[in-house]
Structure 1
């Protein structure tokens, strides 16, 4: 079954984005508890590239499909889970990368919608907070996606966020989305 192509985020209204995000039906992986079966021989690199046995997975539809059965375990590890098996997957940083941003509105009425490298759409807000972690190469921004999993915000998207924060004039510099304020100050 072919997956639908990703729509142009810049051409969508927030109402259309909300409808698309709501339509993203994920399998009930939180209810699946099969016996651990081993290692998937897969890893997700820091840049969001998925690998199997050392080779990049070139089929975007496969990556999107695998991302729907990805789960973070209580011990912090990641697994690919189906009703009958559970396989470890190595994740170098975050399992997703936020690769595109659409901002609409201003101040407390602003909404920030992110497209992930898997095609998922996530709106930052109380249920999907943004956080900024101090790193050796500068702040590393993350967006909470689902089930304890984050998306690393790609550097170009981070620059867009920084420009929005500076333009807003808030002190400390930060961003509003869905009524929540996210300071650009690194934590941790």
Structure 2
């Protein structure tokens, strides 16, 4: 069965986005304790491109499938986890890239480079890092993994912040997030 990406984020209501997030069934990676560890020979570049043995993975469906098995441990190491094996994966910056945002009804919904949709809030906070003049914004995704907001998504957030009060912070699901590092 071919993969059908979800509709454009702007075309979805917040209710439709929340339903899509709730309907997404992910493997229970956090319940698995595989007996074996190995190196996956995979890398996720800062721009979100996935590589295996130095070559880009050209099939988006494979990237989406692998991304459902990702977790990051307390030491910052990323892993691909199956019931039988936990394989290390090199991540240059963040495991995902946030490529679009929509503000509606007091919430911010993001689309990732894997077509996942995440609603920012207490369970999926935003954090600002780096230089205040050139900040890097990250969105908590799942299992310790994050998405870095690409430039256009960051600029969309700045527009949302300025339109809602002039300070460089945004609110989603009752949580407020600064867009510049402290």
The answer to whether residue 173 in structure 2 is matched with residue 178 in structure 1 is yes
- 1:34-183 mapped onto 2 (5 Å cutoff): 34-105=34-105, 110-135=106-131, 138-171=134-167, 173-183=168-178
| Number of aligned residues | 182
Unaligned runs of 5+ in 2: none
| RMSD of aligned residue pairs (Cα, Å) | 1.6
Deviation at 1:2, TM superposition (A): 3.5
Moved runs in structure 1, 4+ residues, more than 6 A?
none
Shift of 1:143: 0.5
8 Å Cα contact 2:109/2:120 also seen in 1: yes
Q: For 1:135 and 1:29, locate their aligned partners in 2 and report how far apart those are by CA, in whole Å.
A: 35
> With structure 1 as the length reference, what TM-score do the two structures score?
0.91
Which ranges in structure 1 are unaligned for 5 or more consecutive residues? Answer: none
Q: TM-score, normalized by length of structure 2?
A: 0.94
Aligned-pair distance for 1:170? Answer: 4.7
